[in-house]
Structure 1
């Protein structure tokens, strides 16, 4: 049996499984978990689903737990900096040699699975199986924060046996797979709800919230709704984030300050606080108030309204659907109303990019459209044709973003906003910071 000798060979093999596409369903994952001696049952998992805000909520939760001295594993996607960050411990991606070892452990099983009636394992299924095996058998941690890849009910991560579940938000994304309406999408996300396991949510739309609540009743799972049980006040932007007072049924957190910019980060931070309160109530952790404040303030999450350059001022934000774009526009209006906003945008073909571009035009002095090297990336010219803004341009070469930024170097009124697909954000970030 041939095993890989280098990290790059192992990762190339994982990426080669993209050819099998997205195949919702848990049968192959259950088969792999059985052959791996059920690592998914040997971890304390917190399972997080949602259209937007999953990564930031996980970042806040991880940061608070770390401030309190706990070790935290995370499984997130897609990656922004390096592939390795999909599996991280205390915010640090696992090592190349650890990935190599994991892939060599799982490849023989995948080869065997390929020959069964269940069919070939997908890229995401393999990565998810590696994450479970890593946290159960290689590097044990106090908690594992699991982000769903797509939906919830049939997502590869849904073989987990979590101690807590959360749904951050419901919006219009992946509708070809999850459904056309918010309640259909909510039903897919609510598939992570387990019998007797609490569900905490920041979903605010009445229909979607009703779907989630009905699922918790069906599963006899405790249900906590952020907007039904908590209040916000004294909200104001700061130079590096947001400041607000948050009151839960248990206590008031006066003047919390986030380390992440964006009006929506108040929701994500608050959801994380509710999750921490529940973990403490159930005896899993002990966290001091000052550790909550420190964790919220120190949380970082690459590619989410992230400043990466000062001259000119450059921010990256992976707003890759309509709801994400709405939050981005709110953030720009709250923090940068005095700036001339020059946008670099790219998107995948299966996203509602026409509507996203229309929203962006409300805050843009100019828009530069770019494509990038990814199978589903839309051409820059097609994106350009969707725009009605007079000051627009396009270039199929992603390197053109650097030229676009360079031209604004001596303009103190300029703010460059690079946004759209997270894959695009990752590409641009690596080019700027290399």
Structure 2
């Protein structure tokens, strides 16, 4: 793309098209040697808009899983404390603007169009060598988020890394806290093929003297984080030692997104009987990190209190995290897309729906994910499996390949435990229709469909469900 073209008057549609018309590493497999993975590059790009990341304080969150949920919980707490927040997360579910919110609100179509118009003008005046490798989709998203936060005069930004941490576009912020939620084997072609290597990349967000919160569990990865924090003179609070959570045994499927009662013990106090509208022990750990972060921030801001923390935890909304659509049959959407997150999903699923006789899995995956390992974990939990491929992202694994893997697994290891039926569907819509037909044909009152394996698959099915719920003209 020629960034030097003069910026014409944009419509909202052309502004969004301009954003998408560039290299997008959520849609293609990035290379470790990509010229875009350089912090000095994003710093120079941000300087074009006045370097707002230097003025606006942040909480910076990395992790293999849980970083988005932790960001959402912390953002909810801060908003309930009357703090004007900026929240930056990825990917989006339905529309691009979801990635950036100020006090819970996305930019309007008019705001987005105006920001894109301004950014195009600034890029047109940028040094040619800065644009030689083109500006990527995620770089543009980062620039627009900081522009939005700056215009809206946010008091603090809550930032989720896009990929890794050390060389991520978000890692030029001015953090008051850094958080590392977990370490697992994902994006190994970029971050490394061992837990310590991945931990090194995630720990790259740690800044000198800035407090660090971590719920990394594996000893070898935990040591990498602890060593980096000690090297930079950072206070380190670790889950399982300095922070603990207790989950109630109440069923988590009592509300539309699932809920639970939790107690969180931080170094300062106990927060008992908090309601968390996200199900699963992994989400309780994420809440433990968010609550501890809010507690540390409260040392410099008296608006954050025990009451606003409790209100924020109870009020969090975060789609596709064991999101339950109450229908016939019940449908659960989960963004789990690697073996660790799928393991957490299975634990939560068992607690909520372990006694359901008819359990249908709709599964799809991206090419750079360990789909075979996920199938091995998931298939014993279900009586029926439907494999498909999502349509909005070219990284989808071919459905025939998924069918072959699922069949092979059923006929070997899985067959010793259960023997689910396996079917193939051309699209998420066809898979959902087939799953509903399977449940309806069995005429049981306790049927359930679970959609998992990819955030892109879960998002496409959610789009279908939301559209079907809207009143017809």
1:233 alignment partner in structure 2: 246
1:233 shift after superposition: 3.4
Q: TM-score, normalised by structure 1?
A: 0.95
2:399 alignment partner in structure 1: 380
2:157 alignment partner in structure 1: 144
1:19 shift after superposition: 5.9
Change (3 A) 1:234 1:316: closer
Q: 2:329 aligns with which of 293, 312, 315?
A: 312
SS in 2 for 1:119: coil
Q: Which moved more, 1:416-425 or 1:381-390?
A: 381-390
Q: Does 1:127 align with 2:157?
A: no
Deviations 1:179-227 (A, max 9, x none): 0111100110111111111111111111111111111122222211122
The CA distance in 1 between the partners of 2:433 and 2:155, in whole Å, is 46
Q: TM-score, normalised by structure 2?
A: 0.88
Q: 1:179 aligns with which of 182, 192, 196?
A: 192
1:27 shift after superposition: 2.6
Contact 1:242 1:263 in 2 (8 A): no
1:326 alignment partner in structure 2: 343
* Pairing 1:190-201 to 2, within 5 Å after superposition: 190-201=203-214
SS in 2 for 1:264: helix
Change (3 A) 1:345 1:114: farther
* Pairing 1:260-409 to 2, within 5 Å after superposition: 260-281=278-299, 283-339=300-356, 340-373=358-391, 374-387=393-406, 388-389=409-410, 390-407=420-437, 408-409=439-440
The CA distance in 1 between the partners of 2:127 and 2:381, in whole Å, is 49
1:25 alignment partner in structure 2: 38
1:429 alignment partner in structure 2: 462
Contact 2:298 2:305 in 1 (8 A): no
1:16 alignment partner in structure 2: 21
Q: Which moved more, 1:315-324 or 1:234-243?
A: 234-243
Structure 2, unmatched stretches of 5+, are 1-5, 31-35, 411-419, 468-473
1:112 shift after superposition: 5.2
Deviations 1:97-140 (A, max 9, x none): 2111111122234445583166222110111011112112x111
1:68 shift after superposition: 1.8
1:39 alignment partner in structure 2: 52
Change (3 A) 1:29 1:255: same
Contact 1:60 1:272 in 2 (8 A): yes
The CA distance in 1 between the partners of 2:176 and 2:112, in whole Å, is 27
Q: 1:167 aligns with which of 167, 180, 190?
A: 180
SS in 2 for 1:367: strand
1:31 shift after superposition: 1.1
Change (3 A) 1:111 1:266: same
Q: Does 1:95 align with 2:112?
A: no
| Corresponding pairs, count | 432
CA RMSD between the two structures: 1.7
SS in 2 for 1:197: coil
Deviations 1:207-265 (A, max 9, x none): 11111111112222221112211333353233232222222221111222211112211
Change (3 A) 1:300 1:39: same
Change (3 A) 1:414 1:202: same
